[in-house]
Amino acid sequence: MDGKPWFCVEAKLSDKTASRPLLHFKEKMDLPLVYQVLREPGEDYVKDGVRVISADKFLTALV
């Protein structure tokens, strides 16, 4: 993808609210995929263009 980042990940223990820096990077870098990964199981939804997802589900998708 021509050297441009195409996704961003922020890890949190349980805070389900997208952080301001994460939203800033999403807008500034025009990132198509932005994830907020939580330790809390069973989470998977999109809010404000950020996919909030549990770590177990996110890490399973990497394999």
pTM of the predicted structure, to 2 decimals: 0.86
Contacts of 4 (CB under 8 A, 6+ apart): 29
Confidence of residue 8 (pLDDT cuts 50, 70, 90): very high
> Using an 8 Å Cβ cutoff, are 36 and 44 in contact?
no
Average pLDDT over residues 10-22: 89
pLDDT value at position 17?
A: 87
The pLDDT tens digits of the residues spanning 26-58 come to 999 999 999 999 999 999 999 989 999 999 999
Residue 1 pLDDT more than 70?
no
